[in-house]
Chains A and B, each alone.
Chain A
Amino acid sequence: MGPLAINEIISENTNLFLAFVVGIGFGFVLESSGFSSSRKLAGVFYGYDMVVLKVFFTGAITAMLGLLFFSLFGWVDLNLVYVNPTYLTSAIIGGVIMGVGFIIGGYCPGTSFCGLSIGKLDALVFIIGLFIGVGIFGAGFNWWEGVYMAEFLGSPKISTALGLTDGVFALILILVALGMFRGAEWAEKKFPRAEY
């Protein structure tokens, strides 16, 4: 049955419209959880606000379990769902650069749109920076194309790489995440800050 667009149960235009609807839900939930505030987002790195950790991992686990159960019931064909490809070198270097950007700017692209939607001007400036950054990447593409394409491993799953089944990995991730949440609660008690 699913994914609906890939199995052509819905048209491309319906797909795009539903992307808009999904986006509304995404934006609403992010903003309601406080992801429109760069200070709350940065809090995960200092212990005073662990909302990023909690929301992020709960979200990942929920979606992961959801997909696995849907596949179990035959509601979705997991072979047709996009799995991000792995280009090891650029994944790491890109991630590091993004990490620097995150701790300096306090936003990521998705949350910056959230911030913009409620009037945060620093979010707007962050977005301008995003355009510039992408532009720089595109302009100099020939210089880093080699790095960009290096170490292509296909689209392996973490579970396969560790020699586990998807379900077992999901269980392990759940337990690890719950452990992290415990730690997060402790950190927030230890480094309290006023809500903003």
Chain B
Amino acid sequence: MRKSTSSKTKYLNPYLGGVLLGLILLAANFISGRGLGASGAIKSGVVTAVTAVNHSAAEKSTFIKEYMESHSGSPMKNWLVFEMLGVLVGGFLSGALAGRLKLQVEHSPGITSNKRLLLALTGGILFGFGSQLGRGCTSGSALSGMAVLSLGGFVTMMAIFGTAYGLAYFFRKNWI
């Protein structure tokens, strides 16, 4: 696996990026009455996949039944799914313009790529589970929740960042 390059790449000034992000979030609220999100699209994907592959299990699942009850039509015809498809396109465009397109496993020089992949998988599983329990991820709950002053969003955000900060010391070898 190629090691990540150490050549400098140009990123947007973070404050400018933040303002732009805020404007996009504002647009989402103005147009659709809701904020941004991400984990819900994964949920739609899981519901679709399970229903397609094993219909009887889907019938018995409370999780899927509740989802179908509150969403009419196909689970993939969903605001978040369309948004995440847009994210893929937008990210690609930005990466292409900045010359950051590259197939790679990005990892700190201190660990191997295989270790990185294992960590990514573990992190993903935990995050996937947690996002369902917390009714949102950093985009949907924390960012969008903050913008509308939601208490639940704020609490989830504090829990995510607080925990990560608290455990950071134990995982420092993976990053620094």
Contacts and interface: CB of A to CB of B under 8 A. Distances in A.
11 contacts: A29-B17, A29-B21, A34-B14, A84-B141, A88-B152, A95-B130, A98-B138, A114-B87, A128-B124, A139-B61, A196-B4
Given A25-B86, A106-B175, A127-B42, 17 more contacts: A19-B32, A26-B24, A27-B87, A27-B91, A33-B12, A51-B14, A54-B17, A93-B134, A94-B130, A94-B133, A102-B164, A105-B121, A109-B39, A126-B127, A129-B124, A194-B6, A194-B8
A48 B168 CA distance: 13
A63 B63 CA distance: 32
Interface string B1-39: 000111011011011011111111111111111111111
A146 B76 CA distance: 27
B141 to A, nearest CB: 6
A127 B46 contact: no
Contacts of B164: 45, 99-100, 102-103
Contacts of B146: 60, 64
B153 to A, nearest CB: 5
A24 B90 contact: yes
Given A3-B30, A125-B120, A135-B46, A108 B38 contact: yes
Interface in A26-46: 26-34, 36-39, 42-43, 45-46
Q: B9, B123, B126 — which one has the most chain A CB atoms within 10 A of its CB?
A: B123
Nearest to B147: A63
Nearest to A90: B133
Interface residues of B, number: 129
B133 A22 contact: no
Instruction: Give the interface centre of B6, B84, B90, B140 by most chain A CB atoms within 10 Å.
Output: B90
B106 A64 contact: no
A127 B30 contact: no
B8 A195 contact: yes
A118 interface: yes
A57 B85 CA distance: 25
A3 B29 contact: yes
A157 B151 contact: yes
A83 B152 CA distance: 9
A13 B127 CA distance: 31
A192 B104 CA distance: 24
Interface in B61-101: 61-64, 77, 79-80, 82-95, 98, 100-101
A6 interface: yes
Interface in B120-156: 120-156
A91 B130 CA distance: 9
Nearest to B156: A95
A138 to B, nearest CB: 4
A154 B25 CA distance: 23
B112 to A, nearest CB: 12
A161 B106 contact: no
A56 interface: yes
B63 A95 contact: no
Given A45-B165, A95-B156, A103-B171, A83 B91 contact: no
B136 to A, nearest CB: 6
A31 B149 contact: no
Contact of B83 (A19, A37, A55, A75): A19
Contacts of A57: 18
B15 to A, nearest CB: 5
Contact of B88 (A18, A113, A136, A141): A113
